[in-house]
Amino acid sequence: MMNVLGIDYGRKRIGLSFADGDVGVAVPVAPLVNLQGAALFEALGKILQERKVDEIVIGYPLHMDGTPGRRVQEVEEFVNALNNRFGLSVHKVDERLSTARVEADFHTFGKKVSKKSGEIDSSAAALILQDFLEQRNFSTEVAEFLEFEDD
């Protein structure tokens, strides 16, 4: 399994999460706050190198009916920039309600957090990445089962 970086993209805050290939569990990591342009990509490059990242998963902003949200073009441009700079596979994953789920969880457990800190964004990135990992594992299990059935 590969090391994967999860991203919840925003103009001011980029939430980040990481999954070690051996464990396969997404955990939030420190977000990138108020970074843009070259500084943003320099910080991302450092993280990708330090964590030996093989793939990137990014939240894709869809409306509740599944149509592209207003920020899709921004995310597409960011994905293209990631591809051009780092040459890693970038997987787009439906991010509907990820931030709302995190905020509800924080509220349930009485955890007070400033939106400006990026902690909510990184927790949302972890949800997005975990969804991706579970879908990938499920697909692999189904494929293995179908191969077994053919034998």
Q: Give pLDDT tens digits for 71-95.
A: 888 999 999 999 999 999 999 988 7
In the chain the domains, ranked by start, together with CATH numbers, are 4-150 (3.30.420.140)
Can you tell me the distance from the alpha carbon of 61 to that of 29, in angstroms, rounded to the nearest whole number?
A: 21
What six digits make up the tokens of 140?
């692999």
DSSP 34: S
Give the predicted TM-score (pTM) of the model: 0.79
Strand order in the sheet with 55-60: 27-33, 13-19, 4-8, 55-60, 89-94
- 127 is written with which tokens? 């949800």
pLDDT beneath 70: ranges in the chain: 1, 63, 96-118, 138-151
| CA–CA gap between residue 100 and residue 13 (Å, rounded) | 16
18, two tokens: 């990481």
Q: What are the pLDDT digits (tens) for 11-23? A: 889 999 999 877 7
19, 138, 148 from 142: Cα distances, Å: 22, 6, 10
Q: Which residues pair with 14 in a beta bridge?
A: 32
In angstroms, the CA 126 to CA 136 distance is 15
Extract the tokens encoding 43.
């910080």
